[in-house]
Structure 1
């Protein structure tokens, strides 16, 4: 099923982290499917994400700030008359620090954006979606949240928290008509991974990106956007409280290890 087969006419969708990568691709995919879209990001580039689109609004905000999230939801409802879909996609990498290296300040910032941000999105979006009768909330987790080996410790922990969050929220929203699911991307070319992709291209090694997954390639933001549209659509009406890996098969066996002491044993 292609994303062009989805019809979101009359629906209002909010996407955070929309200035680039997965967020930008999802904004444009929702718009192409007929939705009224609110693109949000702390970068001013978010305005470019809605360039040329019809019923679309760009808002600069901090996804981990409650006042900003509350204002974002209110602005979407004021502009378009309600809310049907919220995709809490914004996130930060926080580097590759391990459990012995990461500072308390780094932990706090990564958790604020990556985990508290989606929690705030659910808190403020769910009641407005209920007013429409039913709808969907999506959160970007990561294969790094499924098991060790795909990210720094604060990042991986925050994404594991997102997976737990959608499970808990789905239960607590029982009977409301609001479905809550997570997408767990693998290696995707986004603003977060831009340096790695550029580095590989400069050295003529782009074909090595993603070679650890069974498809042996990196993914494109549009491939995540397609899954987001599916999960937000009526075609996914019985999918709730799930974390869907979109990673080329990487999470079937993370083939990377890091040890704090001694040498890794293979």
Structure 2
């Protein structure tokens, strides 16, 4: 049974999977530290949690900046004294485009927000967890980190990198009571996902191939949140370095 009021940090908490997971964790007894660059969205998530009787704080951060990551970790520890769970979830999608038309600035943006943020989150949270002697980290990768999608090679590479960071760190910390796993969503109904669909519908660039929707529908943020809740809990006590697909059989 989970000890009372564990502390969970959720990045990318202003919307989508991050918001759904922050709410889910709060509903299950966690104090939550919500992190996002979008202050209005993050504070809205916090109000939704408090409206249901949950407890938490919001910290504005650019998760690709070292000082901002150090700050949200420090704020979490100052507020609650510990960090039991880190959901390293913040990320951005690449604009679908032919490979050679992607400029260097776009490459650096994707890698910085999707990969550097995961590295930094673990870098500053792991010492806190090591001192405690326990903890769970869940990194958001993607179905594209397992099977690349057409016309978003840089995004696919960034999510492959998240899986590499997850597995590499998991090996180092498995004996230290810290479990590090990755969740790989595929085709989830979020604002980012809808913006891509809108681009296709409005005459934007459309890849030669699109992912199959084998279950006849897209996933919902809450369906990812349930898996993250499980991975954060003692029910997943023998899972470390696992890459969990939640994609309606997309990568099979």
Tell me whether the two structures share a fold, i.e. TM-score over 0.5: yes
Structure 2 residue aligned with 1:48, among 44, 52, 74? 44
1:212 paired to 2:212: yes
Match of residue 12, structure 2, among 17, 27, 52: 17
Across the aligned residues of Structure 1 and Structure 2, the Cα RMSD in angstroms comes to 2.0
Q: In 2, Cα distance between the equivalents of 1:167 and 1:17?
A: 22
Q: What whole-Å deviation, never above 9, does each CA across 1:223-246 have from its counterpart, x for those lacking one?
A: 000000000100001111111110
Contact 2:114/2:159, CA 8 A, preserved across alignment: yes
State how far apart, in whole Å, the 2-side matches of 1:132 and 1:92 are. 32
Distance 1:239 1:227 in 2: 13
**In 2: Cα distance, 1:99 partner to 1:198 partner:** 21
Which protein is richer in helix relative to its size? 2
Q: Give the equivalent residue in structure 2 for 1:174.
A: 174
Q: 1:99 maps to what in 2?
A: 99
Tell me the CA shift for residue 211 of structure 1.
8.1
The answer for the alignment partner of 1:66 in structure 2 is 66
- TM-score w.r.t. the length of structure 1 is 0.85
Contact 2:115/2:159, CA 8 A, preserved across alignment:
yes
Structure 1 unaligned spans of 5+: 1-5, 203-209, 253-266
Query: Alignment length, in residue pairs?
Result: 240
Q: 155-164 vs 91-100, which deviates more?
A: 91-100
Q: Secondary structure at the match of 1:14?
A: strand
Q: Aligned pair 1:249/2:244, yes or no?
A: no
TM-score by length of 2: 0.89
Whole-angstrom distance in 2 between the partners of 1:79 and 1:141: 28
Structure 2 segments unaligned to the other structure (5+ residues): 203-209
Query: How many angstroms does 1:191 deviate by?
Result: 2.4
Distance in 2 (CA, whole Å) between partners of 1:194 and 1:144 is 17
Instruction: Label 1:113 to 1:233 Cα distance change in 2 as closer, same or farther (>3 A).
Output: same
1:230 corresponding residue in structure 2:
230
Change (3 A) 1:104 1:123: same
The structure-2 alpha-carbon separation of the partners of 1:8 and 1:23, relative to structure 1 and needing over 3 Å to count, comes to farther
Query: Cα deviation per residue 1:139-192 (whole Å; 9 max; x = unaligned)?
Result: 100011112226611111000000111000111223211111111000001121
Aligned to 1:132: 132
Taking structure 1 as reference, are residues 58 and 150 closer, same or farther at Cα in structure 2, changes over 3 Å only? farther
